[in-house]
Amino acid sequence: MNVDQTISDLSTLPVGDRLRVVHAIWDTLPDDVDLSPSAEQQAEMDRRLAAHHADPSTAISHDEMMRRIEKRR
């Protein structure tokens, strides 16, 4: 199995089918797998949270986020 070719093939599927594949793969992960963010990911989340605390007006509500996502479909 060539993983790069499989990923390339999957990328041609409609979004809904790709999401089904993501969910199916996610469901195969063992319960004891470490899903903690890497140090770099944690640092980025901390940076974004600090930026939000410094200027909360830059955030949008959950409803607004969902409206924007639906608008793109």
* pLDDT score recorded for residue 4: 93
Instruction: List per-residue pLDDT tens for the chain, 73 residues long.
Output: 799 999 999 999 999 999 999 999 999 999 999 999 999 999 999 999 999 999 999 899 999 999 999 998 7
Residue 51 makes CB contacts below 8 A (sequence gap 6+) with 58
Domain ranges of the chain: 1-30, 37-73
* pLDDT score recorded for residue 73: 79
Residue 29 makes CB contacts below 8 A (sequence gap 6+) with 35
Phi–psi pair at 31, nearest 5 degrees: -65, -25
pTM value > 0.95:
no
Q: Token digits for 12?
A: 């041609």
Q: In Å, what is the CA distance from 2 to each residue of 18, 19, 24, 68?
A: 18, 20, 19, 36
